[in-house]
Every structure is written in structure tokens, then in C-alpha cells.
Amino acid sequence: MSTKKDKFSSNDKSYMKLAINLARARKGLTGKNPSVGCLIVKNDKIISIGQTGFEGRPHAERNAIKNSLEKIKGSKMYVTLEPCNHFGKTPPCTNSIIKSGISEVIYGMDDIDKKVKGKSFKILSNKKIKVKKGLLKAEAKNLYDTYIVNRIKKLPYVTGKIAISKNRLIYSEGIKRITHKSSDKLTHFLRYKNDSIMISSKTLNTDNPKLNCRLKGFEKFSPRRIILDRNLEMKINSYIFKSTKKGNTIVFHNSSNGKKIKILKNKGMTLIKSKLDDNRLFDLRIILKKLYTLGTRNLLVEGGDVITKNLIKKRLIDKFYLFKSLKNMKTTSKHKFFTSLKILNNTYKKKNKISSKLAKDDIIIYKK
């Protein structure tokens, strides 16, 4: 069993860093389950690695044990999160670890799931397996920021994103691009890492966006589309309407337009009637709770000024990406300013600027 006197070696830290990198690579792609990274080491040599499978199964520990090309007995396992110890859709990982003959397990942090938390330490220790925990705990906690929000708040982890010009415009009629095309790759990376993406029908009708991931080789990871369309004003000649397939588009509305409801449902969209608040706006917390029950764990919001402001005011955004062009944009007869910059700066105290060497725009990340 582990004691307070146990110290982690530099090799231990190196192996756990590799495990964290394995988990981070698949973060956002493992459905309702957290992304876990796992290494199996024997005689100071990595003999196997594992990651949580896409959509959450198999678990990383089971994959690592299965993938090993050498005998595992007497080896050491490094895993980013406490191994599961209960029967779900798969048997407990603790069972697989015990049967494999692994002699030592080191993990980054306790699982916050009450079904698991702290129990694996006892189960493995009782089988004479040496167990240590807390290795690179801060890094592990940062890795599981989304999972912690999911489990504790029963809400999706919300990432906001908006692009503005130097003079704070988010729209000017006839101008298609605000930020440099080099920023598009980060936008598509965010879409790749989030299982759902949300916009308003106003953004849909104005910009006619695709909302998909267009990174080469990762197109299949395009997020599910969530449309806030109070009066069902979505244009049926839009890309979103035309590209709808069963299960990939959810529309929240507050309309009694039976004809439009029938058209959208026949196309394969999921329609959910949702209440409005006193300002005739959607209650965004209710919508987020509903999305959580529908399986959304990581939500990207590419909304306009109104949605962004409401989410910020209610502190429902966990991370926010501000893409700011270094150039001013001309105002036209129809234009829109970003009015939430002050409230954004006052609400989110942690700010990091992405190196200008990586982009032609200023990209600032805000966190709680």
C-alpha cells in the first residue's frame, strides 16, 4: 500500500506525462466517459499503451492490457484517472488489472464519480497490488476540467467563440471574413474537439454556415448542430437544412407553426419546444440541461452578440475564445458590434493570449 513517504521518481513523472498526452489527444471524443491515458511499463520499458475508445469504450486500461505484446505479469501501470471498479456496460477495469498480474498501479487523481471514488485504491491494495495516487495531480485535474463540470453540474462544458474586428465589429453586410484565414484551423479544431455546436437561427440565416469540421481526415468528427430558433425562421435553402441527417440537428423553438414544424421534422431534425424567460429569450440553463440529457458533454457556441452576452451574464461559459483581427472593418448600412467585451473581461479573470507566431490575429482564451 502507498504511504505518505512514497515519492515519485523522475521516470514516474515522465511516464505519467505520456499518459496525460494520450488522454489529451482523445479528449472530447469519448462520449459520456472521460478520456483516459494508460501506459504499462516493465523493466523501465514501455510495453503497451492504451486510450479510451471513441464514444467511451473500451476503457484505456483494458486496451493497454489487450494491446501488450509482452507478458504483463510484474509490470507497472500508469493511468491518468482512478480505474473504474463497478459493472456498467463493461466489467470493472480493476478486475482486468488484477487478472493481468500487474504488480503496481499509479494514477493521477481520484475519480469524482461517487460509484468509483477511492474504492479502487482499496480493491487493488487488498489484492497485494502496490498503489500510488496523486502523480501530476494538477495536470490531471486540468485535463479533466470538462469531465468535472459534466459530473458535478450535470451540464455540458461550454466553450464560447466569437470573431471581431479591431474596431469590435462582428458583422458588416457584404464582408464575409473578419479574421485571417490562418485562424480557421483553430476554429475547426474546436469543432473537432466538441461533440455539439450551437448557433441562433439569426446567425444561420445571415451567414449560412456549415458548422462542420474541415480538417483533412477529421471530417467525420463534425459536431451535432444545435439551433436556437424561437419562431422557426430557419431558411429551408440553408446549408444546415439541406445537410440534415437523422440525429445530427436539434432545434429549440417556441413556435406553434405546424407547417414549419412538419417540414423540419420530415427532414430529420429533432424539434424541442422550450419556454422563454421574461425577456422573450430562451432560458439557456434549461437548454443546457436538456442537451446534457441528450448526451452533449462538450458544447461549442459560435453565437452572436445576444447569445454570448446571455451566456456570459449567467456564467454558463466555461472557456471563451476571442478571435480579434488586427485590422479595422468598414461599417455598412447593416452592421453589428460586439457589445460584450467589457462584461467578458470583468467576468473571466484568467486570460491567456495565444502566441502571435501561431496566428495572424490576436486570440485570447478566457477561463473561470
With beta carbons less than 8 A apart as the criterion, state whether 44 and 14 touch: no
Classify burial at 227, counting beta carbons within 10 Å of its beta carbon; exposed 0-12, middle 13-18, buried 19 or more. buried
φ/ψ of 169, rounded to 5, equals -85, 140
- In the set 61, 139, 219, 233, the catalytic residue is 61
> What distance in Å separates the CA atoms of residue 364 and residue 367, rounded to the nearest whole number?
10
Write out the three cell numbers for 201.
437561427
Distances (CA, A) of 106 to 39, 102, 171, 206: 10, 11, 51, 52
φ/ψ of 276, rounded to 5, equals -110, 155
With beta carbons less than 8 A apart as the criterion, state whether 279 and 254 touch: no
61 catalytic? Reply is: yes
Write out the three cell numbers for 338.
460586439
φ/ψ of 364, rounded to 5, equals -115, 130
Q: Which residues are marked as active site?
A: 61
